[in-house]
Amino acid sequence: MPKASTKKSKPQSKKAKLSLKKNELKSYRKLLLERRKELMDEMGELMKEQVSSTPRDTSGDLSSHAFHMADQGTDAMEREMAFMFASKSGRLVYHIEEAIRRIDSGNYGLCAQCQKPISATRLKAVPHARLCIKCKESEEGRNSAGK
């Protein structure tokens, strides 16, 4: 009788694998959801102010971008969305949602650039981190140099 295999499947492969455990992922997910909620609340407040102030206020390119987008649809909802994505918190919410998606699809915690695992220290500080600290630093260096 031929034995199918002498050993059980190898416990670990050499390939960079996600070192995060299920419960760790869960806690990051919770953290992300909490932060997202905070931001949404914060933005809700901002939006109230924004809506009550003159809509053609041109203080800063961010709002002008938002209102350019709003021109395409006068829907209040669309304007809210435009404002959200034009604001810093809005982009953060976007990144947080992306991170939650990465958790769900199972590639959370890996650097989007070099595919190496992002350190736990970094994830704890920035749970929505997309890049490892090295790649992030080089990206920031590029950005500030290009300015």
* 43 in contact with Zn ion (CB under 5 A): no
Identify whether the C-beta of residue 106 lies closer than 8 Å to the C-beta of residue 63.
no
Among 70, 93, 111, 123, binds Zn ion (CB under 5 A): 111
Nearest CA to 130 out of 107, 147, 106 is that of 107
DSSP string, 55-111: TT--SSHHHHHHHHHHHT---HHHHHHHHHHHSHHHHHHHHHHHHHHHHHHT-TTB-
Q: Which of 67, 114, 119, 130 binds Zn ion (CB under 5 A)?
A: 114
For residue 110, which phi and psi values (nearest 5 degrees)? -105, 140
What minimum distance in Å lies between the beta carbon of 118 and Zn ion? 7
Contacts of 77 (CB under 8 A, 6+ apart): none
Q: Which stretch binds Zn ion (CB under 5 A): 47-55, 74-82, 90-98, 114-122?
A: 114-122
Question: Interacting stretch for Zn ion, rule CB under 5 A, among 36-44, 62-70, 73-81, 125-133?
Answer: 125-133
- Is 113 one of the binding residues for Zn ion (CB under 5 A)? yes
Chain position carrying tokens 């220290």: 121
> Does 112 participate in binding Zn ion (rule CB under 5 A)?
no
Q: How far is the CB of 112 from Zn ion (least distance, A)?
A: 8
- Least separation in angstroms between residue 102's CB and Zn ion is 14
Binding flag, residue 132, Zn ion (CB under 5 A)? yes
Which residues of the shown chain bind Zn ion in the complex (CB under 5 A)? 111, 113-114, 132, 135
